[in-house]
A = this chain, B = another copy of it.
Amino acid sequence: MDEILLMLPGPTSVSQRVLEAMSQPIVNHRSALFGELFTKTSSLMSKIFKTEHQSYIITGSGTAAMEAGIVNTLKPNEKVLNVVGGKFGERFMNIAKSHSINTKELEVEWGKAVDPKNIKEALDEDEDIKAITVVHNETSTGVCAPIKEIGKVMKNYDALYIVDTVSSLGGDYVDVDNYGIDVCVTGSQKCLAAPPGMAAITLSDDAWEKSNDVTPNNYYLDMKEYRKSGNKNPPETPYTPSISLTYALYEALKVIEEEGLDNRIKRHHKASKASVEAVEALGLELFADKEVSSATVTAVKLPEGVTDKEFRGTTRDKYKVELAGGQDHLKGNVFRIGHMGNVTYKELAITFSAIGMTLKGLGIDVDPGAGVRSITESYI
């Protein structure tokens, strides 16, 4: 009964309904039966991406889709501008580097959002830039990047606009076609609330056109093969996909459709606002700038006098709430509350109760009920 409540920025808890869908019998991945599942799943995925283009499902983590986005649209020695304000921005850059792509870093202080003007400047300065990479929701810092505004800048440049929405799609506003995003990637285990192991990608006409010119030095993630297989009748994937995870992903996307994407995004924004207020009510400090704080994860500075180990150890072992720690140089200084997927006031009430009790128990001078009281005020 006292199961650990996952409040991570992914993977998120998966509903019984989705777990049950996952357990359907295995079918032939080269059959009409799977073809139908493939079509229904990619079509729902495109609706959530808000694109007229086909979405492709890749068996692998979100990182695999990030790599697919890079290797199919950029050649070795071509230049890419990487917006780096956290671990995942850095990952995009490292992926490009691993493919001998010429990377140019647009450094953003961790906790701040990139200013679209700086992207404009960088593009104006260097017309060799063939693409930019942006992480919409930087899971490591709890910062949301202004992808709509960046899209407005990008409309004046030929460079491709590559966006990672791994931890935002389904929980924050993403509108691939309207924002002019050329390559958009996501993962199954964040706001979509499906089990981890599946990723998705969609490419604009410009991105496909560029891909015709690129021979990816990669086999598993060659998107032209995915397109070729997807155009077969029945449609299929080039390599055996995870049938079970496709069942699960499809069911999770149906849940989103039933809730309504807009309602779902508002629910995430509400959870974010409520979390920020509860953090403040506890006298804690946000890590990210408040005005760009993510809709799906809240990063909080660990108060003086408490170690990460004792803080998260206590929330997990004593109060059965699993929070995420800081990554890279934030390790030990920050904890992160994921409020993604199926999160309502219930999970936040538990989480902020646990945080309050833990801090008090560790000797911090805090009203242990202040956070959860704030949650009730937000949701009344």
Residues of chain A having any CB pair with chain B under 8 Å = 3-4, 6, 8, 10-14, 19-20, 22-23, 25-29, 31, 59-64, 67, 94-95, 98-100, 187, 189, 195-198, 215-222, 238-245, 248, 322, 324
Contacts and interface: CB of A to CB of B under 8 A. Distances in A.
Contacts of A324: 28
Contact of A29 (B4, B196, B220): B196
A87 to B, nearest CB: 12
Contacts of A220: 60-61, 63-64, 67, 220-221
A228 to B, nearest CB: 14
A29 B63 CA distance: 15
A59 B216 CA distance: 21
B95 A219 contact: yes
Taken together, the copies of this chain in the complex come to 2
Contacts of A241: 61, 196-197
A243 B244 CA distance: 12
Contacts of A11: 26, 28-29, 240, 243
A342 B98 CA distance: 41
B244 A195 contact: yes
B23 A8 contact: no
A31 B322 contact: yes
A13 B243 CA distance: 11
A128 to B, nearest CB: 21
A62 B12 contact: no
Given A67-B220, A218-B218, A195 B60 contact: no
Contact of A239 (B14, B27, B61, B248): B61
21 contacts: A3-B25, A6-B28, A8-B28, A14-B25, A26-B189, A26-B195, A26-B196, A28-B322, A59-B196, A61-B220, A63-B239, A95-B219, A98-B215, A99-B217, A100-B217, A195-B242, A195-B243, A195-B245, A197-B241, A242-B242, A242-B245
Contact of A216 (B12, B19, B98, B219): B98
Nearest to A215: B98
Given A13-B25, A195-B243, 10 more contacts: A26-B196, A28-B324, A59-B59, A59-B61, A94-B219, A98-B215, A98-B217, A195-B242, A195-B244, A198-B242
A53 B338 CA distance: 37
A82 B221 CA distance: 21
A42 B99 CA distance: 29
A289 B222 CA distance: 35
Nearest to A60: B60
Nearest to A70: B219
Select the residue from A4, A100, A220, A222 with max chain B CB neighbours within 10 A. Answer: A220
Contacts of A99: 217-219
Contacts of A29: 11, 196
A130 B105 CA distance: 37
Select the residue from A8, A12, A244, A322 with max chain B CB neighbours within 10 A. Answer: A244
A229 to B, nearest CB: 12
Contacts of A248: 244
A29 B220 CA distance: 24
A194 to B, nearest CB: 9
Shortest beta-carbon contacts, A-B, top 7: A197-B242, A61-B239, A195-B244, A63-B239, A19-B23, A95-B219, A98-B219
Contacts of A189: 26, 240
